[in-house]
Amino acid sequence: MSSLSEFDDADQEDSTTPKLEKEKTQDSAIKVTNLSLTYRTTFTKNQTLRSALRDIRHKERNVHTVEALKDVSFEIPHGTVLGVIGQNGAGKSSLLRTLTGIMPPTAGRIEVHGRISTLLALGVAFNTELSGTENILLAGLASGMTREEVAAKRKEIIDFAEIGDFIDLPTKTYSSGMSQRLAFSVAVHMNPDILLIDEALSAGDAKFKAKAQEKMHELMKSARTLVLVSHGLNSILNLCNDAIWLDKGQIRMHADPKSVVDAYSEFVKVGKSTPAMLEDL
Amino acid sequence: MKRSGKQSAAPEEILIHEPFKAGLPNLPKYIKDIWLRREFASELSRATMRSQEASTFFGRMWLVINPLFLGSVYFVLVSIISNGAHGGADYMSHLLAGLFAYQFFSQSMMNGSKSVLGVGKLVINRSFPRLILPISSVLIAFYRFFPSIVVYFIFHLVTKQPISANQLYAIPAFLMIFVFSIGVAALLATVQVYFRDLKSFLPYLSRILLYATPVLYYADAIPENLKFMQYVNPLFGMFGAWGDSLVRGEVPATSLWISGLLWSVGTLLLGTFVFLSREREFAVRI
């Protein structure tokens, strides 16, 4: 009872309400508070019983704790295109994984307002023996759509990806560009409020890249939120209106894209004009 | 003071990710998530089967050919070993019913153990309750089991084996095998992520379990000094109840139900617990 009345008071007296409480459900698309992520992994790539027994005999523990994210906090409103940059192993992919819920945080809290769609790995195929159409259905069902919803989107997805007649062939026959285009097309057509993309701008040839950028601008205009992890600093500058630089699991800088890219280029000694990755070529 | 943000007419979905309590996800929510994706689970199973059939000449016919061959092979084997003592139609029905159910269990175990490791990085980078993967392996085994049970019934009718209402007890008996299989699949799928050599042990484990289970012989043929197997073999109660009801039309003994039920529910709980407590590590281990 007492807690209830406390809430009522807070609602009426705006001035006493903490700022965080007030903004919580209004505009923010993603709100991350004191997020930390640690996990244990082994140095040996594939753990076998034999190597485990050997470790026990030698009283060795091959297990290594990785602190992928340390006390990360940020908040972005709807309509933001957030670029995330940082060196390999800085925690960019881990951040996306926690945002989608693939890896729950070790500490902290994440609030995601809206339907989320992800493009974390290129390719769409659950099973390369299956046709493009079948894989589209599986991808849609996996992300929680109904069969009818997927059917309604199918034509749009196929047309956008420019797969043509190949759509009925097993995806193992696709060129890498085709699978990338299909993956991108599936992700953006899931009607996401929030779209997370990991290094996917390299999808396809120059023509498709332009089309992909256009589609992302379109998503931005309809107040959708994009989080974009990329090594391509030019993509960050062209597309984003907010940027985060992750370094060793912590936020080193959170500001407008230009300042962040400038600071980052200075840090890694990559001239902004020189392409950071082949994708910019 | 209120901001006039862009608000869609539909109620906004809010997802909150917080640390797991006691290493486990929020169970009611997890179960609901699985239920919401039930179509995905069945489509994944059926699509996987289609892709396996696509590269074979007989395709779907294998679903019937397989159990027929399997039955014949063991029939020849046992007839020779027993010098023709086991040759009657009643024995053959016992053998077929047991083998087909065992095939279901063994396929669930084999494919279930591969279910997480096999899908690879791409699927692991999607957000969905991963328990669907071992469940869908068990579903595949079930779709394969179904035609074999039709084969069994034809044999049962042709050889004029007893028909009675007691045969309906075979349904709950099979349910125990089904639940047990899901538990085993979830457990082994997790273990396989950490110990990849498990897959080399499994065929042997599967064979030992088959020989320890009254499939190739009748339960009362177990010699006195091996009776302990009834208690250590999880499959004893389930397969006992299955055979007694389906093949002989008897009401299975209470002890079979108790042992089967304890093993199946216990294994399901253990398997899902181990799976859920390790699930978050899969993305970085694969």
Q: Which of A10-24, A253-267, B187-201 has the least mean pLDDT?
A: A10-24
Please report which confidence band the pLDDT of residue A55 belongs to, taking 50, 70 and 90 as the band edges.
low
Which pLDDT does position A279 carry in this prediction? Answer: 43
For A39, which of B8, B39, B281 is closest by C-beta distance?
B281
Share of chain A above pLDDT 70, in %: 76
Residues of chain B with pLDDT under 50: 1-11
Q: What is the pLDDT of residues B78-100, one digit of tens each?
A: 888 877 676 678 888 999 999 99
Please report which confidence band the pLDDT of residue A43 belongs to, taking 50, 70 and 90 as the band edges.
low
In terms of Cα–Cα distance, which of B245, B270, B271 is closest to B256? B245
Over 60: is that where the pLDDT of A11 sits?
no
The full DSSP string for A45-91 is SS--HHHHHHHHHTT---EEEEEEEEEEEEEEETT-EEEEE--TTSS
- Burial label for A53, CB within 10 Å (0-12, 13-18, 19+), is exposed
Q: Do B281 and A46 touch (CB under 8 A)?
A: no
In terms of Cα–Cα distance, which of B134, B117, B250, B130 is closest to B184? B134
Give helix B198-212 / helix B235-246 axis angle, nearest 10°: 50
Domain residue ranges of chain A, discontinuous segments joined by +: 77-280
- Residues near B19 by beta carbon (within 8 Å), at least 6 away in sequence: A104, A105, A106, A107, A108
Mean pLDDT (chain A) is 78
Phi then psi dihedrals of residue A118, to 5 deg: -130, 150
First to last CA, chain B: 49
The full DSSP string for A135-204 is HHHHHHHHTT--HHHHHHHHHHHHHHHT-GGGGGSBGGGS-HHHHHHHHHHHHHTS--SEEEEES-TT-S
Q: What is the pLDDT of residues A156-188, one digit of tens each?
A: 999 998 888 899 998 888 887 888 888 888 888
Q: How many residues does chain A have?
A: 281
Give the residue from A30, A42, A94, A127 with the most B CB atoms within 10 Å of its CB, the best one to mutate.
Answer: A127
Most confident listed range (A234-243, A268-277, B223-232): A234-243
Min Cα distance A258 → chain B (Å) is 26
Which pLDDT does position A271 carry in this prediction? Answer: 53
For A104, which of B19, B50, B128 is closest by C-beta distance?
B19
The structure tokens listed for A85 are: 């940059």
Give helix B89-124 / helix B198-212 axis angle, nearest 10°: 160
Q: What distance in Å separates the CA atoms of residue A223 and residue B15, rounded to the nearest whole number? A: 19
Give the residue from A65, A102, A109, A173 with the most B CB atoms within 10 Å of its CB, the best one to mutate.
Answer: A102
Which pLDDT does position B121 carry in this prediction? Answer: 65
Give the residue from A69, A94, A141, A220 with the most B CB atoms within 10 Å of its CB, the best one to mutate.
Answer: A141
Chain A residues with beta carbon closer than 8 angstroms to that of B6: 27, 78-79, 223
| Class of the CATH-defined domain A77-280 | alpha beta
Chain A residues with beta carbon closer than 8 angstroms to that of B126: 102, 118, 120, 139, 142-143
Q: CB–CB of B183/B109 below 8 Å?
A: no
Measured from the Cβ of residue B189, the count of other Cβ atoms closer than 10 Å reads 29
Q: Do A134 and B283 touch (CB under 8 A)?
A: no
Which pLDDT does position A45 carry in this prediction? Answer: 54
The structure tokens listed for B90 are: 């009643």
What per-residue string of b and e applies to B80-119 under the rule 16 or more CB within 10 Å gives b? eeeeeebeeeebbbbbbbbbbbbbbbbbbbbbbbbbbbbb
β-bridge mates for residue A32, sequence order: A74, A110
Residue with tokens 């508070």: A33
In terms of Cα–Cα distance, which of A193, A133, A139 is closest to B37? A139
β-bridge mates for residue B196, sequence order: none
Strands (E) in chain B, as ranges, are 14-17
Q: What distance in Å separates the CA atoms of residue A102 and residue B89, rounded to the nearest whole number? A: 53
Element (H, E) at B101: helix B89-124
Nearest CA in chain B to A106: B19
- Burial label for A116, CB within 10 Å (0-12, 13-18, 19+), is buried
Nearest CA in chain B to A53: B195
Distances, alpha carbon A13 to alpha carbons A6, A16, A18, A23, A28, in Å: 11, 6, 10, 15, 22
Over 70: is that where the pLDDT of A281 sits?
no
In terms of Cα–Cα distance, which of A239, A163, A162, A174 is closest to A200? A239
Measured from the Cβ of residue B71, the count of other Cβ atoms closer than 10 Å reads 22
A58 against B256, higher pLDDT:
B256
Chain B residues with beta carbon closer than 8 angstroms to that of A187: none
Q: Do B19 and A49 touch (CB under 8 A)?
A: no
The structure tokens listed for B255 are: 């002890």
Which pLDDT does position A125 carry in this prediction? Answer: 67
Distances, alpha carbon B18 to alpha carbons A78, A86, A114, A177, in Å: 21, 25, 17, 37
